[in-house]
Chain A
Amino acid sequence: MMSLEQFENRNVSESGYYKVDIESYPETGWEKAKQVFSRAIRGELFVGLWVVMREMIKFDIHTVQYPKEKLPVGPRYRAVHEMQRLWESGTERCIGCGLCEKICISDCIRMDTKIDENNRKVVSEYTINLGRCIFCGYCAEVCPELAIVHGGRYENTSEQRAHYTEYDDMLTPFDMALKGEVPEYPGFGAVTPHEDERVKSTPLAY
């Protein structure tokens, strides 16, 4: 049980404090000059210089050469959105349900949908205003089709903001999808692992 007693004891010396051994400060002018001299003329400076020199000669450099080189980001990182395609057919995953538009708390997603010649719903226009987006990840979480996900592209510089809001830029290139180069997406917005074990099967009559 806690009690107030231990807080009421103000005698700090009993609780294991001890004094630090500090050299006395130089007092006379001579003593001061001696301290400056002894601190300045030490060989430690050359030790540091040698380490730099040694590493330079070895050419074993650990610095990442950004922007030529980039560090990989973690799969749960939430950077600029990507629109996925289906793995095998390359069909756009987005069905135009509008849930990302609805859930977006900064109101930066907007889509236009229409009926196509096969009587299916298609997205005719899709924009994300990245100037407003707060990268909260709700859109990717709510998406029932794993269509909108957060990718790893974290660099948000361009001459124009509009460059980031083109649907085609966000969409995985079709030829990549056809070649099977699009990996099953592991990043933010993906289903949790072993999700399929939780799916209940529906009886089928055929």
Chain B
Amino acid sequence: MINFKINGHSVTAERGETIINVARREDIYIPTMCYLEKTTPCASCRLCSVEVEGMDGFVLACNTPPTEGINIITDSDVLETERTNIMRMYDVNHPLECGVCDKSGECDLQNKTLEFNVGVQQFAAKDQPRKIENWGLINYDPSLCILCEKCTHVCNEVIGDDALDLLFGGYNSKVIPKNSDVLDCTFCGECIAVCPVGALISSDFQYSANSWELSKVPATCAHCSAGCALEYEVKHAGIDSNGTESIYRVKNNFEYATLCGAGRFGFDYDNKATKDEAAFVKAVEAVSKAKAIRFSSLITNEEAMILKALKEKLGLKLFNRDARHMQLFMDAYASVSGTKHYSADLESLKASDAIIVIGSRIATDNPGVRYAMTTAARHNGAKVVYMHPLEDALLQNTVTQFVKYEVGTEEGVLALLAQTLIVDQELTQREQAFIDTLDEGYLSAETNVGDDELELMKKQFLRSKSKTLVIGSDILAHERVENIARLVALIEKYGDFKVLVVPTEVNTLGVSLIADLDIDDYSENVVGYNAKGNFVISALEGADLDVAAFNQQEGTVVSIDKRLLPTNVALGFEGYTLNDIANALGVFAENTIDYTSNLPEKSGFKAVGFDDLGNFYSAKGVDERGYVLEGVKVHRGGHPEEVAELPEFNGAVIYHANPVLQFNAFTATTEQLENDNNLYGSASFAAAARLSDGDAVSFVYAGETVRRIFKLDNTLKGTVALHPTFDLGLNVRSDYRFETVNFKRESK
């Protein structure tokens, strides 16, 4: 604790806090142009200069920690002159195109120019020729750029792409793609979000609307379980729109939260269908006669509640594979840990200094986790161990150690991890016996994880204070999920780890906490709700009854943070909803959101109505969205069982993993996101599967034939190919993601 004064007010700073942190906490205004809360200070604008009483010159509030007893002055004539001069410099030759600039109305430079009353340009500099760059989804206009460096900082420190760099050249400085002619990155668009002027802008949005015309709808991203906060910006769809609206862009609270490109650019997946009464009558009949409803986890908690009520009323079965896997994992985990929910969240992951990721191609499965890990690595120097059969080039800047294991041997890997990470702990007799009887030689040989690798990991973690184990969906869908879960809980209990489970889909966790699920026996007479079935009710094309897509609904989801998050209607929907079907079948509620306050309290939900849920970050960065689920204590009594014989995957193995920014059938329908559905494999995979670059192949996936073009990818290693499933519509099956397939060669 450091006691000092700002403008005579006594304040205290925590260790590591800078002057600006304290000032903002105490509501004392210091102007900035380049400061970004979530990165290290850029210190490029010098607008946050403050005076220290009794000292000559200025100090920068953004990167100076206070010392005991000083008095900071944030506002004086000298400072005002200094800051006004800085603004005058910024405005030299800044194009006077506010009239057409997309940033006009929400521009930091505009605001500060008016704040410091810079009305005329008093001096000049010879302008340079500056070329506008088109980088795919992002356009860059160097003449508007004020070189604040927010974009480069966020790209490197938060995202981890490290794709932007500053070309220093005095007045000719500009932002350039790092080590490349064109921008080669994951296109998260966070650089667009943080840009204080109109220099970096979404190419799709550019010049299509003015910021003041757009109405903002706070919502939750519907593409993965990170549950990122976003704002849909909505306006009429144009002159010939006849009253319909459309989403023009997505923005996020970039100061405290981060959004990936799927959320930012993949927003136009709304269902434009209208009311079809005949289809509705058929749907009601189909549900009333159905044996079961199969549904995906791309639904809200309220819809899950309706399905649960329908099950109770009509005696149906409910099928949902990924949520059932989650249930199996969490139940087994809870039987050892004693708590219903896993212990970590994204905030605690950001604060970690040691991270193990296992069983997920995490950078594409859940970018939110990736960004948290990047932040941890850059800001805490976290050691990140990535364990997977396939290396991931996207993580190369973040991961400190890659541990490759054989496909299918996750149980063995976790057993080895338990043995390595649990040291000098007082285990129960049964647990000690489990550890002692592990056949290390067998496990090591089958998993291909060597002693030296584990020792290296242990050594890296020696000084770590806050450790997190991230569990991916490969493990949730594993045959031995229950025993793996017990091993995970054991590591958490004795290895001083927090556990973060990455739910497979948007609301896998929510559904798993609400619905009572049955084993999917692939029987006939199944109604599919956003899933495959004999009668399909879906927001996707080709449905028997159209329902609203996620951005056309209000409701809640449970994110990876175990947080209940509300989402709102961005675009209207004319047709029917699941609630209408339920009402017709005697499960009555006026609105779908009437179910929000009835979510099961035994799973940690609170009896809070939808309209009482917040959906914003406070001015000081506190996440006020929804609420965090209550911790629930459960009975302990589970013990890890003996590790089963580890399976072997021989032949041509493919891994169902989507490319960057693609997650599911909804992202596949969006306009801006790239639809790359090729099968990618390394040269050694090509040799093993006897394929060459450009070959057309077909194979059976989830009961249907899939045709793909094989492409060689030199960044891949090993004998597993990457197979995208996002474009397969409803035919996606949430099973173990590695699969041995028989390729059939197709004519080109």
Binding site for B on A (CB under 8 A): 95-99, 101-102, 110-115, 119-122, 125, 127, 144-145, 200, 202-206
Contacts of B239 in A (CB 8 A): 110-112, 125, 127
**What is the chain A residue whose CB lies nearest that of B98?**
A97
Q: Chain B binding site: helix, strand, loop or mixed by DSSP?
A: loop
Complex Cα–Cα for A112 and B123 (A): 38
User: 1/0 contact trace for B119-134 toward A, CB 8 Å?
Assistant: 0111111110000101
Contacts of B139 in A (CB 8 A): 119
Binding site for A on B (CB under 8 A): 99-100, 120-127, 132, 134, 139, 141, 203, 206-210, 212-213, 236, 238-240
Q: Which of A96, A101, A145, A205 contacts B126 (CB 8 A)?
A: A205
Contacts of B123 in A (CB 8 A): 203
Given A127-B239, A203-B123: 5 more A-B contacts, CB < 8 Å = A97-B99, A98-B213, A99-B99, A205-B125, A205-B127
**Once the chains bind, are B207 and A115 in contact (CB under 8 Å)?**
yes
Contacts of B206 in A (CB 8 A): 115
Q: Which of A95, A102, A144, A145 contacts B212 (CB 8 A)?
A: A102
* B100 → chain A closest CB, angstroms: 4
Q: 7 closest A-B pairs (Cβ-Cβ)?
A: A97-B99, A205-B126, A121-B207, A121-B100, A205-B124, A203-B124, A115-B207
Complex Cα–Cα for A95 and B208 (A): 12
Contacts of A95 in B (CB 8 A): 99-100
Contacts of A114 in B (CB 8 A): 207-208
Contacts of A120 in B (CB 8 A): 100, 207
Most A CB contacts (10 A, CB to CB) among B121, B141, B203, B212 go to B121
Complex Cα–Cα for A112 and B246 (A): 13
Complex Cα–Cα for A114 and B102 (A): 11
Complex Cα–Cα for A204 and B208 (A): 33
Contacts of A115 in B (CB 8 A): 203, 206-208
Complex Cα–Cα for A83 and B713 (A): 55
Contacts of A204 in B (CB 8 A): 124
Contacts of B212 in A (CB 8 A): 102
Complex Cα–Cα for A2 and B174 (A): 76
Complex Cα–Cα for A125 and B210 (A): 15
* B122 → chain A closest CB, angstroms: 7
Contacts of A119 in B (CB 8 A): 132, 134, 139, 141
**Once the chains bind, are B124 and A125 in contact (CB under 8 Å)?**
no
Contacts of A122 in B (CB 8 A): 207
**Once the chains bind, are B122 and A96 in contact (CB under 8 Å)?**
no
**Once the chains bind, are B238 and A203 in contact (CB under 8 Å)?**
no
**What is the chain A residue whose CB lies nearest that of B93?**
A205
Complex Cα–Cα for A173 and B70 (A): 70
Q: Could you give 24 example pairs across A and B, Cβ below 8 Å?
A: A97-B100, A97-B210, A98-B210, A98-B213, A101-B213, A110-B239, A111-B239, A112-B238, A113-B209, A114-B207, A115-B207, A119-B141, A120-B100, A122-B207, A125-B238, A125-B240, A145-B99, A202-B120, A203-B121, A203-B122, A203-B123, A204-B124, A205-B124, A205-B127
Contacts of B122 in A (CB 8 A): 203
Complex Cα–Cα for A102 and B212 (A): 9
Complex Cα–Cα for A205 and B127 (A): 8
**Once the chains bind, are B121 and A202 in contact (CB under 8 Å)?**
yes
* A74 → chain B closest CB, angstroms: 30
**What is the chain A residue whose CB lies nearest that of B205?**
A115
Contacts of B99 in A (CB 8 A): 95, 97, 99, 144-145
Contacts of B127 in A (CB 8 A): 205
Complex Cα–Cα for A127 and B238 (A): 11
**Once the chains bind, are B124 and A113 in contact (CB under 8 Å)?**
no
* B352 → chain A closest CB, angstroms: 43
Complex Cα–Cα for A113 and B101 (A): 12
Contacts of B134 in A (CB 8 A): 119
Complex Cα–Cα for A58 and B616 (A): 84
* A116 → chain B closest CB, angstroms: 8
**What is the chain A residue whose CB lies nearest that of B210?**
A98
Complex Cα–Cα for A202 and B139 (A): 29
Contacts of A99 in B (CB 8 A): 99
**Once the chains bind, are A202 and B207 in contact (CB under 8 Å)?**
no
Contacts of A111 in B (CB 8 A): 239
If the complex has contacts A112-B238, A113-B208, A202-B124, are A102 and B100 also in contact, measured as CB distance less than 8 A? no
Contacts of A113 in B (CB 8 A): 207-209
Complex Cα–Cα for A97 and B211 (A): 11
Complex Cα–Cα for A110 and B240 (A): 10
